[in-house]
Amino acid sequence: MSDEPLTVLRSPLRLEYTYTAGETSSRFLRGFAEGKILGRRCPECDKVYVPPRGNCPICTSALTAEVELAHTGTITKFCIVNLPFAARNIEIPYVSASILLDGADVPIFHLIQEVPYDEVRIGMRVEAAWEKPEARTPGMESIMYFRPTGEPDVEVDLFEDADA
């Protein structure tokens, strides 16, 4: 036994979980395997949520109407990532962005590629770049990234709902 004082104690704790996506998210995730982006519309507020919720987070109405969304949208905000992540093997810097899909009322979050990082801008039109059909899985990774469509930029009202 050493007489050195004990200064560090390692006590690892490992916990494993089985994640339950839930009824609504399961539909959404399975949609990707079929090449679909599925949202839901609120019967009261008329807002389209993607990822869909079981109920409207504003009025709590049950969201029963499924909506298949376009694979195109507009960048509403973005950030340039300069730090490498272990889980993501992408050359830095790269861009992550909020993308408001056409027909949706809330943006999704995804990678932007096939464009230099310093040319990405708010209002840029983008489209989903899908994995090949045989490589698609029930998850958002089935969309590899979004890329510019080349259409003209559109006006983005960043504060549309601020007074709601």
Partner 1 sequence: MREVAIVGFAQSPSVRQDSVRNEVEILTPVIAEAIKRSGIPRKEIGFTCSGSCDYLAGVPFAFVQALDAVGAWPPIRESHVEMDGAWALYEAWVRLQIGDVDSALVYGFGKSSVGDPREISVAQLDPYYLAPLGPDSVSVAALQARALLESNGYTERDLAEVAARSLRNAKTNPNAQVKGDFEPDELLEAPYDVSPLRSHDCPPISDGAAAVVLAASDLARKVCERPAWITGIDHRIDAHAVGARDLAKSPSATLAAEKAGVGHRPVEVAELHAPFSHQELILRAAMGLGQEVEINPSGGALVANPIMAAGLIRLGEAASRIIDGSANRVLGHATSGPCLQQNLVCVMEVR
Q: Which stretch binds partner 1 (CB under 8 A): 50-58, 78-86, 94-102, 141-149?
A: 50-58
Q: How far is the CB of 7 from partner 1 (least distance, A)?
A: 12
Q: Measure the CA–CA gap between 154 and 145, rounded to whole angstroms.
A: 20
Which CB, 76 or 146, lies closer to partner 1?
76
Q: Enumerate the H helices of 22-91 as residue ranges.
A: 23-33
Q: Does 59 sit near partner 1 (CB under 8 A)? A: yes
What is the token pair recorded at 13? 């704790």
Sign of the CA dihedral 59, 64, 65, 70?
Answer: positive
CB 157 within 8 A of CB 46: no
Q: How far is the CB of 51 from partner 1 (least distance, A)?
A: 11
Distance of CA 1 to CAs 4, 7, 9, 11, 92, Å? 9, 15, 16, 20, 48
Q: Does 139 sit near partner 1 (CB under 8 A)? A: no
Q: Does 25 sit near partner 1 (CB under 8 A)? A: yes
∠ CA 155-156-161, rounded to 5°: 140
Which of 2, 18, 82, 89 forms a contact with partner 1 (CB under 8 A)? 18
Q: Which stretch binds partner 1 (CB under 8 A): 17-25, 32-40, 109-117, 143-151?
A: 17-25
Site string for partner 1, 60-89 (x = CB under 8 A): x-----------------------------
Q: How far is the CB of 133 from partner 1 (least distance, A)?
A: 28
CB 54 within 8 A of CB 20: no
Task: Give me the residues that bind partner 1 (CB under 8 A), please.
Answer: 9, 11, 13, 15-25, 53-60, 164
